[in-house]
Amino acid sequence: MGFRQDFEPLALSELHGFAESRRAEGWRYVQTLAVLTEEGVDLVYSFMKDGHLANSVVSIGRDAVVPSISDLFLAAFVFENEIHDLFGVTVEGIAIDFEGSFYQLANEAPMTILSPEQAAAREKARKVAAAKAAKAAKEAGGASDAPAAEGGLEAKLAAMDPEKAAKVRAAMEAKAKKEAAAKDAELEERLKAMDPEKAAKVRAAMEAKAKRAVSAEEGGE
């Protein structure tokens, strides 16, 4: 018998009913994996039967409330407590609920922290995407997709005395760098408060993910 696996999207509203049907059909619960995304968190529910590993992906926002499936598969309580503690996901009705103390953490929801490197990579990716959109709009003869506020500001600067406009731009850039440095320092302090070994793993994982994001954006140019 061969082994195969697949991934399918699943709506949050259908999660509990889907898990109930899996149990009725004799599927074995394997795990629930959480992955941090730009919009929130992807929860991957894995079930196995007859050599088939079926993965259902539930994409949720930061404030979503997820129903527990531990009433159907008791083993799920371990993963649900872990997802709550590490990713800050609210899971309702866990059979054995540690109420945030499943892990002894120095930092709340540590897997949602962005390292300075990851934040910089995301900002670079955002700028690359914005530049592509602007170029496409220009080539198509349409209006730019840049935010209206930025477009209005550029128009005002263009109408100003060049020397004065240069000073305004310099002041804005200095302010932006100062704010970015403050955010980086705050993130670093939060990581320092964590267990050193765990903080190193978190940094390494986030930096690797950030590099992959940048490579993907550059490869699409």
Lowest-confidence pick of 9-18, 30-39, 128-137? 128-137
User: Which one of 19-28, 104-113, 122-131, 145-154 scores highest in mean pLDDT?
Assistant: 19-28
Q: How far apart are CA 49 and CA 28, in angstroms?
A: 6
Q: What is the mean pLDDT of the chain?
A: 81
Q: How far apart are CA 177 and CA 169, in angstroms?
A: 12
What's the pLDDT tens digit per position in 82-116?
999 889 899 999 999 988 777 776 666 666 655 56
What's the pLDDT tens digit per position in 162-211?
777 777 778 888 887 777 777 767 777 777 777 777 777 777 777 777 77
Q: In angstroms, how far is CA 86 from the centroid of its own chain?
A: 13
For 199, counting Cβ atoms within 10 Å of its Cβ (0-12 exposed, 13-18 middle, 19+ buried), the class is buried
Phi and psi at residue 197, to the nearest 5°:
-65, -40
Mean pLDDT of the 50-73 span: 95
Tokens 């004799």 belong to residue: 26
pLDDT: which is higher, 24 or 134? 24
Q: How far is the CA of 108 from the CAs of 57, 71, 141, 208, in angstroms?
A: 24, 27, 48, 22
What's the pLDDT tens digit per position in 143-166?
445 455 556 677 777 777 777 777
Please give the pLDDT value at position 171: 80
Q: Where are the domains of the chain?
A: 4-110, 113-219
Please give the pLDDT value at position 153: 73
**DSSP secondary structure letter of residue 38:** S
Please give the pLDDT value at position 142: 52
Contact at 8 Å (CB) between 95 and 69? no
Q: pTM for this one?
A: 0.53
Question: Which amino acid makes up residue 63?
Answer: D
Contact at 8 Å (CB) between 34 and 83? yes
Give me the CATH topology for the region 4-110: Beta Polymerase; domain 2 (3.30.460)
